[in-house]
Structure 1
Amino acid sequence: MAYFVTGATGFIGRFLVSELVDHRDGPVFVLCRASSLPRLETMIQQWTHGSGSSRVVPVVGDLGQPGLGVDPEWVAEHAGKIDHFFHLAAIYDMTADDATNDAMNVQGTRYALELADGLQAGCFHQVSSVAAAGDYHGRFDETMFDEGQPLPSPYHRTKYESEKIVREESTISWRVYRPAIVVGDSQTGAMDKIDGPYYFFPLIKRMRDNLPSWLPLVGVDLGDTNLVPVDYVAKAMDHLAHLPDRDGEAFHLVNPEPQPVVDMINSFCSAAGAPRFATPIDRNVTAGATGLLPRALRPSSLFSAVVRTAPAHLLLDQTLGRLGIPAEVVGHTSFPSVFDSKATEKALAGSGIAVPDLESYARTLWGYWEENLDDTTGRDKRTRSALKGKHVVITGASSGIGKVTALKVAQAGGIPVLVARGKDKLEETKAFIELRGGQAYAFPCDLSDLRAIDDLCARLSTELPSVDFLVNNAGRSIRRSLRLSHDRFHDFERTMQLNYFGAIRLIIGLMPKLHQQKSGHIVNISSIGVQTNPPRFSAYVASKAALDAWSNVVASEVVGHGISFTNIHMPLVRTPMIAPTKMYDKFPTLSPAQAADLVIKAMVEKPHEINTFAGNAGAVAHTFAPKAAFRILNLAYQVFPDSAAAKAKAGPSEAEPAVAAVPPAVAETEGGRESEQILMARLFPGVHW
C-alpha cells in the first residue's frame, strides 16, 4: 500500500498519519509547503518514533496551486502507485471569511482531485464535515446530501460545495467522512488550536477562579451538540478506508447520542472545578408545548436567528468576545440536525473503535488546554515584563508542576532551563517549546547525587549568560506512618537527600553567579504540610520545613546583594507524585496549571511566602490551640488509613493480615470511613492527608 495525504501537519492529519505509520505498510507521502519542511521533519521524527525510518516522505506543493503545485515529474514517476489519497487540507474555522473558505475548501478540493487523477490513485478519501448538513432540521443519515438545507455560514457552504465537487467531478473512486466537532485526544488531551467548546474554556476558568464550585448557576437549554475525540476520528477513518466494497459512501464520524450543550459545558466545569449550570425547566416538560409551535418560533430557532444578526454580533463581540468567544461561534453552539450513524457503526462493528463518553475524558481535555493552550500568562503585561528574556532554571521540569511552569515561562517570553533526571522527557519538552517559537535548554541531572549537582552548577554558571530565577520544584514525597517506618530509616535519608540537601546544594552552587549578577530570585516549592503537620508525612514535611528554615536564614544574608526567596506552601496538586495514593482521586486538588500559576506569581511579585487559606488556618490553629489541633490531626490519622503500598513495604510484622472476604459489617464501616475522609478533605482542602 502507498498513501498520499494532504493536511498531514493539521490536527486530524497528524493523527491519521500516525495511524497509517503504526498499523499499515508502505510509504506515506505528505504534501508540504517548502517553508514548512523543518516543522514537518520534526513531526516525521514523532511519527516514526525517532527511528529514522523513511516511510513518511515529504512532497513539496501548495494547496492553492493547480495540481497542488506538485512537480509533474514526481506525478509521472508515481502514477498508478498510490492506493489511497486522503484529502484533509482545509479550513476548519467558523470565523474564517468567504474568500479564505473558498480558496482552501472549494478550490483546494478541486486541485486535490486533479492531482489524484494524475496519480491514478485507487481511492480519493474526502474529509468533509457534518457542517455539510447546514441547518437541516431532523434526522440526517449517511445517504443524505443535497436536501435543500440552508447553509448559514461560509464554512457550512464550502463544506457542502467541496463534498459536492467530489461526488460529481471525481474520475476515481471516492469515500467521504463527516466528523462532528473534533476535540483533543481522549487519552492525552492533545489539541493544536482553540476551536469549538475550547472557546468557552477561558470563561470556565474565570468562573473556577472566582466562584465557589458548589454555587449553582442558572442555565438555559441551548439544544444538542456532538463532540468526538480526534483519536476516534483517525482510527475510524483508517479502518473505514480499508474496508472492501464501500466506495461511493459517506460515513458519519459522530457520537451516536447527541449531548445537550448544557451537559457538555457542565462536563468541562466539573473537570475544571468550576460551578455547574442547572436548567430550571427540563426539556421533557417543554417539548410538548414547543412542538406545537412552528419551527421558526421555537426557542432554539429564535435564539439561533437572533444571535446571527449584525446587532447581536456587535453586542456579543463587546461582551463574550472580550473573553475570547467569537460571536460566530455562539450562533452555532448546537445542531438542528440529528446525525444518524448506523451505517458507520455497523462498518466499525468488531473493530473495537467507538466514541468514548465525554465524562471519561473531559478532565484530560481540560488539563491539556490549561497546561498547553491557555495563553493567559503570555497576554499578561506584567508577567511578560518580569520574565521576557530571563533564564529560569526549573528542577523537576520533566512532568507535573515543573513542566507546566516551563511552558508558561516560555509563553511569557522567558527562557526555561529544564533540569530533571530523565533526558528524553526533557528533550520532548524542549522540542515542544521550540515548535511554538520559544527557546529552552535541557540539562539532565540526578538531583539526589550531590556531585552531579556540582557539575550542573558549573555548567549553568558558564553556559548561561545569567541565572535570573531558580525554581526548586523537584521533590520526593513519602506517605507512611511512624509505626510502619521502624525498619525504614532510609525513607528519611532519601527524602532529605533530594528535598533538602539537593536543593541547598544547587542554591549554594549558583550563589557565586547570583552574587556576580547582583540579582536573582529563588522559588522553593514547599508544602502546606509545613503549616498543618498532617500525620503520615513526617519524612516529607520535615525535609520541606528544613528547606524553609534554611532559606529564611540565608535570605537575610543575601538580600543586600539583590537576591531574594519565595517559599510556596503548595497544597495538594494532581501530579504523578500523588498518583499512587488512590484515595486522592476523590479529593479537591489543584491542577498542575493552577500550581504553575502560583510559581509564576512568585517570580513576578517576589513575595516572601505564598500561602493558602487552609494552610494559614492550620498555622494559626497550631499557634493558638495546639492541643485541639493535634486532636483533629489524630482524628484524621484514625480516619485515613495507611496506603496499600506503605503496608506492603513495611514487612510482615507491620503489614495487616490479608482476609479472604470482606464481611458486610466491615464493608459498611469502610463506606462510612470513606464518607468521613471526603468530608474532612473538603473541610480542609489541599491538605495532604
Structure 2
Amino acid sequence: MSSFVTGATGFIGRFLVSELVDHREGPIFVLVRQSSIHRMETLIQQWTAGSTKTKVIPVVGDLSQPGLGVDPAWVAEHANKIEHFFHLAAIYDMTADDATNDAMNVDGTRYALELAEALDVKCFHQVSSVAAAGDYHGRFDESMFDEGQPLPSPYHRTKYESEKIVREESKVPWRVYRPAIVVGHSETGAMDKIDGPYYFFPLIKRMRDNLPSWLPLVGIDLGDTNLVPVDYVAKAMDHIAHLPDRNGEAFHLVNPEPQSTIEMINSFCAAAGAPRFATPIDRSLTAGATGLLPSALRPNRIFNALVRTAPAHLILDQTLGRAGIPAEVVGHSSFSAVFDSKATTKALAGSGIDVPDLESYARALWSFWEENLDDSTAKDKKTRSALKGKHVVITGASSGIGKVTALKVAQAGGIPVLVARGKDKLEETKATIELRGGQAHVFPCDLSDLRAIDDLCERLSSELPSVDFVVNNAGRSIRRSLKLSHDRFHDFERTMQLNYFGAIRLIMGLMPKLHEQRSGHIVNISSIGVQTNPPRFSAYVASKAALDAWSNVVASEVVGHGISFTNIHMPLVRTPMIAPTKMYDKFPTLSPAQAADLVIKAMVEKPHEINTLAGNAGAVAHTFAPKAAFRVLNLAYQVFPDSAAAKAKTGPTEAAPEVAPAPEAGTEGAGGRESEQILMARLFPGVHW
C-alpha cells in the first residue's frame, strides 16, 4: 500500500505522514521543492526513527507547476502503483490575498489532480475546509456543498472552488475532508504558525502581565466557533482514508459541539492566568427574541457584516491590529453555520478517535505558544542588541526554565550553549533552534561531579570564542521537614553539591576566560525562599542562600574587570521540579516562559537582583517583624503537612537527578485544610510551601 502526500512539510501534513508511518505499510512519497530537500530529510529522520516497515521518499516538484512539476519519467515508473494521493498543500490563512489563494488553493489543486490522474491512483484525498461553507446560515451537513452560500473572503472562495474542481473534474475516485479551525497537538501543544485563535494570544499575554487574574472583564457574545487539535485531524484522516466504500463522500473533521467564541477565549485566558471575560446578557435569554427576527437583522449577522467593511477594517487595524490581531480574523472569528458531522462520527465509530474538550488541552496550546511561537523577544530591539551573537552558557538546559531561556536567547540572535546531563534532550533543543534558523552548542555534563565541571570549563574556554553570559539554572529541590531529616544528612550534601558547589565551581572555572575578556555577566537562578524562608525547604533554601552570599562577595572583587552578577529570587515555577507535588496545580505559579523572560531581563538590564513583590514583602517582614514572620511561617508549617514521599525511608545511595522533584503533598490536605492551603498560596503567591 503506497501513498503520495503534498504539503508533507506543512502542519497537518507532518502529523498525517507520522500516522501513515505508524499504521500503514509501503512507501510514502512526499512532494518537496528542491530548495527544501534538507528540511525534508530532517523530517524523514524524525518520522521513520525506529520504523523498519515504512519508507518516506522525497519527490522533487512544485505546487505552482502543471502536474506539480514532477519528472515525467518518475510518473511513468510509478503509474498504477500508488493507492492514496493526499493533497494537503494549500494556504490555510485568512489574511492571504487573492493571488496567493488562487495560486495555492485553486491552481495547486488542479495540478495535483493532473498528477493523480497521470499516476492513476486509487483515491484522491482532498483536504478542503469548513470555509467552503462560507456564510451559510443553519446546519450544514456532509452531503451539502453548493448551497448558494456567500463566500466572504478569498480564502472561503478558493476553498470552495478547489473542492468544486475535485468534485466535478476528477477522473479518479475522491474523498474530501473539511477540518474546522486546526490548532496544536492536544498533548504537546505543538504548532508551527500563528493562525486562528493564536492571533489573540499576545493580547491575552498583555492582560496576564498587567491585570490581576481575578479582574472581571466585559465581553461580547461573538457567536460560536469550532476548534479541533491537529492530532485528531491527522488520525481521523488516516482512519477514514483507508475505510472501504467511502469514495465520493465529504467528512467534517469538526467538534460535534460548537464552542462559544467567548468561552474559547476564556479557556486560553484561564490557561495563561489572565482575567476572563463575562457576557452581561446570556445568549439563552436573547435566543428566543432574536430568533423571531429576520436572519439579516440578527445581532451576530449585523456585527459580522460591520466588521468586514472598509471603515471597520481601518479602525480595527489601528486598535486590535496594534496588538497583532488582523481585522480579517475578527471578521471571521465565528461561524454562521453549524457543521453536522454524523458521517464522520459513524466512520470513526470503534476507532477510539474523537475530539477532546478544549479545556483539557488549552494549557498545552498556550504553553507551547508561549515557549516557542511568542516572538516578543525577537521584536525587542534592546534585547536583540544585548544578545545578538553572544554566547550564553545555560545549565539545566534540557527542560523547564533552561530550555525556554535557550529558545528565547536564540530568538534574539544569541547563541545558547546548552549544558545538562542528558545529551539527547539537549540535541533535540539544538535541532529545534537550528530548524528556526538559529545556532546552538551542546556540552553534556553532570553538574554534581566537580571534575566533570572542570573538564567542561576547559572545553568552554578553549572551544568558544567568548563566554558572554552564564546562567546557573540547574538545581535540586527537596521538601522535607527537619524532624524527618535526622537520618538524611545526604539531602543537605546533595543540594549543596549541585546548587552551591557545582554553581561556584563553574563560575570559578570560567573566571580566567571572563577576566581575559574583561566582560561577562552571571545570572544565578536563586529562590524566593531565600527571602521568605518557607518551612520544609531548609536544605534547598540554605544552598541557594549560600550561592547568593558567595556571589555578593565576589561581585565586588571582579566588577573592575566588567564582570557582574544578577541573583533572581525566582518564585514557584511550573516545571518538572514541582510536577509531582499535585497541590501545586492549584497554586499561582509562573510559567517557564515567564521565568525565562526574567532571565532575559537579567541579561539585558544586568540588575544586582530581580525580586517579586511577595519576596520583598517576606524580606521586609523578617527584617522588621521577625517574630510575627516566624509565627506566620509556623502556621504554614501546620497547614502544609509532610508528604508520604517525604516520610519514606530511603538511603543515601538513591539517584540524584539534575532537577529533583519536590515530593507529593499527600492526602492530609483534603477538605478544609486544602482550602487553607489555597488561601495561603494566594495570599503569598509564588512561595514554595
Q: Which interval holds the TM-score relative to the shorter structure? A: over 0.9
Contact 1:384 1:413 in 2 (8 A): yes
Which residue is equivalent to 2:612?
612
Contact 2:669 2:677 in 1 (8 A): no
Which residue is equivalent to 1:333?
333
Amino acid corresponding to residue 164 of structure 1 in structure 2: K
Which residue is equivalent to 1:161?
161
What is the rounded CA distance, in whole Å, between the counterparts of 2:642 and 2:38 in structure 1?
Answer: 52
Which residue is equivalent to 1:510?
510
Amino acid corresponding to residue 455 of structure 2 in structure 1: D
Which residue is equivalent to 2:528?
528
What is the rounded CA distance, in whole Å, between the counterparts of 1:208 and 1:402 in structure 2?
Answer: 22
What is the rounded CA distance, in whole Å, between the counterparts of 1:60 and 1:576 in structure 2?
Answer: 42
| 1:251 and 2:251 are equivalent in the alignment | yes
Amino acid corresponding to residue 545 of structure 2 in structure 1: A
| 1:307 and 2:277 are equivalent in the alignment | no
| 1:569 and 2:561 are equivalent in the alignment | no
Deviations 1:176-195 (A, max 9, x none): 00000000000000000000
Cα deviation for residue 54 of structure 1 reads 7.0
Contact 2:25 2:53 in 1 (8 A): no
Cα deviation for residue 333 of structure 1 reads 0.5
Q: How does 1:278-317 map to 2 (within 5 A)?
A: 278-317=278-317
Q: How does 1:559-638 map to 2 (within 5 A)?
A: 559-638=559-638
Is there any run of 5+ residues in structure 2 with no aligned partner, and where? Answer: 652-665
What is the rounded CA distance, in whole Å, between the counterparts of 2:52 and 2:507 in structure 1?
Answer: 40
| 1:117 and 2:117 are equivalent in the alignment | yes
Deviations 1:383-430 (A, max 9, x none): 011001100000000100000000000111111000011100000000
Q: CA RMSD in A?
A: 1.3
Distance 1:268 1:546, change over 3 A: same
Which residue is equivalent to 2:544?
544
Is there any run of 5+ residues in structure 1 with no aligned partner, and where? Answer: 652-665
| 1:197 and 2:197 are equivalent in the alignment | yes
Contact 1:487 1:650 in 2 (8 A): no
Contact 2:87 2:127 in 1 (8 A): yes
Which residue is equivalent to 1:451?
451
Amino acid corresponding to residue 423 of structure 2 in structure 1: K
Distance 1:52 1:380, change over 3 A: farther
What is the rounded CA distance, in whole Å, between the counterparts of 1:572 and 1:53 in structure 2?
Answer: 46
SS at match of 1:443: strand
Which residue is equivalent to 2:29?
29
Q: How does 1:286-685 map to 2 (within 5 A)?
A: 286-649=286-649, 670-685=670-685
SS at match of 1:353: coil
Q: When the two structures are superposed, what TM-score results if normalisation uses the length of structure 1? A: 0.97
Count of equivalent residues:
675
Cα deviation for residue 687 of structure 1 reads 0.1
Deviations 1:206-264 (A, max 9, x none): 00000000000001100000000000000000000011111111000000000110000
Q: When the two structures are superposed, what TM-score results if normalisation uses the length of structure 2? A: 0.97
Contact 1:581 1:643 in 2 (8 A): no
Contact 2:641 2:669 in 1 (8 A): no
Amino acid corresponding to residue 487 of structure 1 in structure 2: D
Deviations 1:480-529 (A, max 9, x none): 11121122111111111100000000000000000000000000000000
Contact 2:67 2:115 in 1 (8 A): yes
Cα deviation for residue 648 of structure 1 reads 2.6
Contact 2:21 2:54 in 1 (8 A): no
Which residue is equivalent to 1:87?
87
Cα deviation for residue 644 of structure 1 reads 2.5
What is the rounded CA distance, in whole Å, between the counterparts of 1:650 and 1:410 in structure 2?
Answer: 41
What is the rounded CA distance, in whole Å, between the counterparts of 2:649 and 2:347 in structure 1?
Answer: 50
Cα deviation for residue 647 of structure 1 reads 2.0
Higher deviation after alignment, 635-644 or 457-466? 635-644
Amino acid corresponding to residue 354 of structure 2 in structure 1: A
Deviations 1:570-622 (A, max 9, x none): 00000000011111011010000000000000000000000000000001111
Amino acid corresponding to residue 513 of structure 1 in structure 2: K
Q: How does 1:70-219 map to 2 (within 5 A)?
A: 70-219=70-219
Distance 1:35 1:505, change over 3 A: same
Which residue is equivalent to 2:654?
none
Cα deviation for residue 76 of structure 1 reads 0.7
SS at match of 2:499: helix
What is the rounded CA distance, in whole Å, between the counterparts of 2:53 and 2:601 in structure 1?
Answer: 44
Cα deviation for residue 643 of structure 1 reads 2.1
Deviations 1:283-313 (A, max 9, x none): 0111111112111111111111111011111
SS at match of 2:136: coil
Amino acid corresponding to residue 584 of structure 2 in structure 1: Y
Contact 1:304 1:332 in 2 (8 A): yes
Cα deviation for residue 52 of structure 1 reads 8.7
What is the rounded CA distance, in whole Å, between the counterparts of 2:120 and 2:161 in structure 1?
Answer: 23
SS at match of 1:670: coil
Contact 1:271 1:363 in 2 (8 A): yes
